[in-house]
Amino acid sequence: METLLKIKNLKIDYAVRGGTLSAVNNVSLDIKPKEIFAFLGESGCGKSTLSLAIMRLLMDRNTSVSGEIEFKGTNLLTLSNHEMNRVRGRKIGMIFQNPLDSLNPVYRSGTQVYEALTLDNVTRQQAWSKVLQLYQDVKIPDAERRMKSFPNEMSGGMRQRVMIAMMLSRNPELLIADEPTTALDVTTEAQILNIMLSLREQYGTAILVITHNLGIVAEIADRVGVMYAGELVEMGDVNTIFENPLHPYTKALMRALPRHSKNVGRISTIEGTVPRIIGEYIGCRFENRCPFAIDICRSKTPTMREITTGHFVSCHREEIL
């Protein structure tokens, strides 16, 4: 199958006091059309940095981005701002943890979805019925009345649905969802995840979901990339990662497996914290928390190896685990 998004050797550094912070390093992966790919990792490991880079929302002077981000064969990093705006609006959509940040409080929710529509040759009336249909697609009850509500009259779950409807109005091929349900209660979270699953069926949208929550990954992902301190340490399909994790970090995550509870699943159940890597770093970034670390883990940077088809791991000690 063709590749929708191809990321190759992506490296992102922030200029900070005291040097450069390596937020993302040497990340390579492919996302296929209609695929749901989850980035899993604890706070600070570089998940949001990666997704903002894909959207080219990181381009300030303190940031350096190198490597390749190709969307359907086009390198996004070399597009003009004008061309990138078109990609952002129509090809790749993004939803965030807090939809209030993206919705305008002074306009009715339906008006914002209406404004986002980019249909050609349709009457006002046809456009409004499209808005109604989108509200129904994202399962907003009493859609006609809800279209007239202002964002602050809606619950967090309803606002997230409006955001998803707004994204869908452009019919993107890729939806990036950065912690889309973190601000929601468990029941609403389940509903939003179901909506995302049904959108993939209905619209064929590929979804890149970014999360620290293993339950979400188990619920919706086809494939998983496990991030640690800015690097991918393991990648594979969801069953492989859950049933046969190889990297000591992934193994530790799985031992703390929550399955159904939201809070127990926080990855912070592992001792220690993700290091901030300033400047050049040699060795494995997980070394200081790893019970299996030996000399080579400190002296040589591990690289991704394909252990079985589609199952990649970056660890010097994978063979003994």
Ligand X SMILES: Nc1ncnc2c1ncn2[C@@H]1O[C@H](COP(=O)(O)OP(=O)(O)OP(=O)(O)O)[C@@H](O)[C@H]1O
Name the site residues for ligand X (rule: CB under 6 A). 14, 16, 21, 23, 41, 43-49, 62, 212, 276
Strands (E) located in the chain? 5-16, 19-31, 36-40, 63-71, 74-75, 92-95, 174-178, 206-211, 223-228, 231-237, 305-308, 311-313
Minimum Å distance from CB 155 to Ni ion?
23
Q: Would you say 67 or 110 has its CB closer to ligand X?
A: 67
If DSSP codes are grouped into helix, strand and coil, which group holds residue 5?
strand
Q: Would you say 134 or 232 has its CB closer to ligand X?
A: 232
Q: Would you say 116 or 256 has its CB closer to ligand X?
A: 256
Interacting partner of 14 out of ligand X, Ni ion, none (Cβ under 5 to 8 A depending on kind)? ligand X
Q: What is the dihedral of CA 258, 263, 264, 265, to 10 degrees?
A: 40
Q: Would you say 48 or 213 has its CB closer to Ni ion?
A: 48
User: Does residue 49 bind Ni ion (CB under 5 A)?
Assistant: no
Minimum Å distance from CB 229 to ligand X?
9
Is the Cβ–Cβ distance between 109 and 151 less than 8 Å?
Answer: yes
Residue 266 CB partners (closer than 8 Å, separation 6+): 42, 212, 213
Sheet with 74-75: list strands edge to edge: 19-31, 5-16, 63-71, 74-75
Q: Which residue is nearest to Ni ion (CB)?
A: 48
Q: Would you say 176 or 241 has its CB closer to Ni ion?
A: 176
Interacting partner of 157 out of Ni ion, ligand X, none (Cβ under 5 to 8 A depending on kind)? none
Interacting partner of 250 out of ligand X, Ni ion, none (Cβ under 5 to 8 A depending on kind)? none
- The CA distance from 235 to 20, in Å, is 27
Sheet with 174-178: list strands edge to edge: 92-95, 174-178, 206-211, 36-40, 223-228, 231-237, 311-313, 305-308
Interacting partner of 45 out of Ni ion, ligand X, none (Cβ under 5 to 8 A depending on kind)? ligand X
Interacting partner of 41 out of ligand X, Ni ion, none (Cβ under 5 to 8 A depending on kind)? ligand X
- The CA distance from 113 to 135, in Å, is 9
Interacting partner of 46 out of ligand X, Ni ion, none (Cβ under 5 to 8 A depending on kind)? ligand X
Q: Would you say 33 or 44 has its CB closer to ligand X?
A: 44
User: Does residue 48 bind Ni ion (CB under 5 A)?
Assistant: yes
Judged by the rule CB under 5 A, the positions of this chain that interact with Ni ion are 47-48
